Amino acid sequence: MGALGAVLPIGQIDTGDTAWMLAATALVLMMTIALGLFYAGLVRSKNTLNTFMMSVSAIAIGGVVWALIGYSLAFDGEGALIGGLGHVGLNGVGFEPRGDGTVPHLVFMAFQGTFAIITAALVSGAVVERMRFGAWMIFAALWSVLVYAVLAHWAFGGGWLAAQGALDFAGGVPVEMGSGFSALAAALVVGARKDYGRQALLPHNAVYVLLGAGLLWFGWFGFNGGSGIGANDASVLAFVNTMLTPAAALLTWFVLDLIRGRRVTAIGAATSIIVGCVLITPAGGFISPGWALVLGFLGALPCYAVIVWRPRTRVDETLDVLAAHGVAGFTGILFLGLVAQIGWNGVADGLFYGDAGQFWSQALAAAVAPAYAFGVTFVLLKAMGAVMPLRATEHDEAVGMDVVYHGEEAYASGEGAILVAPDADGEVLVGDPS
């Protein structure tokens, strides 16, 4: 660790570190609500609430599953493939630090829990506007154990990927590639919306999209800036890089938009903020601020290409989780293998600074994480599909998910609404909310 880290006693609670990690945890939890807003703006108005609720439900399900089993599988012990059951139900997670950490184990667990939550919510972007709400919640619970906890263990819970030297600062493996390539599998299994490719299905509120992206960026300072697990050099570097890379990605996106359509688009800008934040996620605490800018400029290119190409395919990966998270996470994890500098991170050099082995470790992570996430999600949804319908009926899809699954509208006018006694019988439901 750097100068600031060196003066701290290791394995003892540091109040400064703890204070920052408490704040960072709250910032990351807010990101899931910000994501709900971002996604809600990108769908049609009749699906606003359902899209938002997929993110909200990820907090309910992801939070509980994390405390019960997910945290233990991700962070208990040094097993190569999966953690142990020692922390099931938060057993043994208290005020003492974990290992040689400087913050209470409880804070560490909560911080990591907010990552599990937002990652499940990210996957929902692939299946909005047609997946059944009940099926989604069952999927989110199983996915956060079978995919997220396993990848988190590999990347930073003591599993084989970290053991063989792969670096992942804040979740390029479990969060970004984990969600992005799972999203692709989910879109393939659940299938396209009924009107996809026939009608223009447009975002209904670009202001939500921009505001959601802005709040995600704000929260990302806790996500990356907290991944040094303290107020230390690594966190400071990641925090600053989280300002720089998205700014560079925004600028690149403006130029690409200008070249392609002769106009700078607002939804493109919102997208590029996410792309920039994702690019720097794996690399944040490992690369210099100068390289962070370069990462923003260059890393935006493959993501832009996939975003332009994907809607020309028959794959209705609706909100482009693959491009914004999968491809950006993949790019960031490889880039860090090129430009990591021991002078900045105290851990490892990349290929450009003399350690080709680091690049190959990163390449391994970039190959394995997408394959695992895609494969397990594909099989999981196929298995679920064999025992329950995954998607709404065509009728319900036409009516809209908000009325069918939630009995509410995002923009109810109240005109023509007749008050009903709360205990009135013979309730009439439009569609099948099961």
Partner 1 sequence: MKLVIGIVRPEKANDVLEALYRAEVRGVSLSRVEGHGGELERVETYRGTTVKMGLSDKVRFEVAVSDAFVDPTIEALREGARTGEVGDGKIFVVPLERAVRIRTGESDESAVTPVVN
CA atoms of 359 and 375, how far apart (whole Å)? 24
Is 351 a binding residue for partner 1 by CB under 8 A? The answer is no
Is 99 a binding residue for partner 1 by CB under 8 A? The answer is no
Is 425 a binding residue for partner 1 by CB under 8 A? The answer is no
CA atoms of 268 and 290, how far apart (whole Å)? 24
Q: Find out whether 77 and 91 touch, Cβ atoms under 8 Å.
A: no
Residues paired with 199 in a beta bridge: 196
Which residues, including other chains, have CB under 8 Å from residue 420's CB and lie 6 or more apart? none
Is 428 a binding residue for partner 1 by CB under 8 A? The answer is yes
CA atoms of 155 and 333, how far apart (whole Å)? 11
CA atoms of 357 and 223, how far apart (whole Å)? 28
Q: Which of residues 199-228 bind partner 1 (CB under 8 A)?
A: 199
Decide: helix, strand or coil at residue 131.
strand
Out of 403, 405, 410, 425, the residue judged to bind partner 1 by CB under 8 A: 403
Q: Mutual orientation of helices 356-387 and 133-143 as an angle, nearest 10°? A: 140
In whole angstroms, the minimum distance from the beta carbon of 30 to partner 1 comes to 23
- The DSSP element (H or E) to which 52 belongs, if any, is helix 48-65
Decide: helix, strand or coil at residue 187.
helix
Decide: helix, strand or coil at residue 196.
strand
| Token representation of residue 219 | 């929260």
Out of 421, 425, 432, 434, the residue judged to bind partner 1 by CB under 8 A: 421
Out of 80, 388, 429, 434, the residue judged to bind partner 1 by CB under 8 A: 429
Stretch that binds partner 1, among 130-138, 314-322, 350-358, 405-413 (CB under 8 A): 405-413
Output 24 or 40, the one with its CB closest to partner 1.
40
Is 398 a binding residue for partner 1 by CB under 8 A? The answer is yes
Decide: helix, strand or coil at residue 19.
helix
Q: Which of residues 140-199 bind partner 1 (CB under 8 A)?
A: 195, 198-199
Is 100 a binding residue for partner 1 by CB under 8 A? The answer is no
Is 53 a binding residue for partner 1 by CB under 8 A? The answer is no
Output 371 or 430, the one with its CB closest to partner 1.
430
Is 419 a binding residue for partner 1 by CB under 8 A? The answer is yes
CA atoms of 97 and 172, how far apart (whole Å)? 25
Out of 3, 7, 386, 424, the residue judged to bind partner 1 by CB under 8 A: 424
Is 56 a binding residue for partner 1 by CB under 8 A? The answer is no
Which residues, including other chains, have CB under 8 Å from residue 336's CB and lie 6 or more apart? 167, 169, 172, 282, 283, 286, 287, 350, 362
Q: Find out whether 373 and 173 touch, Cβ atoms under 8 Å.
A: no
Count of residues that bind partner 1 according to CB under 8 A = 26
Least Cα distance to 107 among 201, 212, 24 occurs for 24
Output 7 or 420, the one with its CB closest to partner 1.
420
Residue 216, sorted as left (phi over 0), alpha (psi -120 to 50) or beta, turns out to be alpha
Out of 383, 407, 432, 434, the residue judged to bind partner 1 by CB under 8 A: 407
In whole angstroms, the minimum distance from the beta carbon of 424 to partner 1 comes to 7
CA atoms of 252 and 276, how far apart (whole Å)? 10
| Binding map of partner 1 across residues 317-346, x = CB under 8 A, - = no contact | ------------------------------
In whole angstroms, the minimum distance from the beta carbon of 431 to partner 1 comes to 9
Output 386 or 417, the one with its CB closest to partner 1.
417
Residues paired with 104 in a beta bridge: 97
Out of 314, 395, 432, 434, the residue judged to bind partner 1 by CB under 8 A: 395
In whole angstroms, the minimum distance from the beta carbon of 212 to partner 1 comes to 23
In whole angstroms, the minimum distance from the beta carbon of 419 to partner 1 comes to 6
Least Cα distance to 97 among 75, 73, 65, 69 occurs for 75
Query: What are the φ/ψ torsions at residue 104 (nearest 5 degrees)?
Result: -55, 145
CA atoms of 301 and 289, how far apart (whole Å)? 19
CA atoms of 188 and 376, how far apart (whole Å)? 13
Out of 316, 418, 432, 434, the residue judged to bind partner 1 by CB under 8 A: 418
Out of 68, 301, 315, 399, the residue judged to bind partner 1 by CB under 8 A: 399
In whole angstroms, the minimum distance from the beta carbon of 132 to partner 1 comes to 18
Is 415 a binding residue for partner 1 by CB under 8 A? The answer is yes
In whole angstroms, the minimum distance from the beta carbon of 126 to partner 1 comes to 22
Q: For 137, what's the count of Cα atoms within 13 Å in the CB-facing half-sphere?
A: 13
Output 257 or 402, the one with its CB closest to partner 1.
402
Stretch that binds partner 1, among 57-65, 166-174, 225-233, 395-403 (CB under 8 A): 395-403
Query: Which residues make up the interface to partner 1 (CB under 8 A)?
Result: 195, 198-199, 395, 398-399, 403, 407-409, 412-422, 424, 427-430
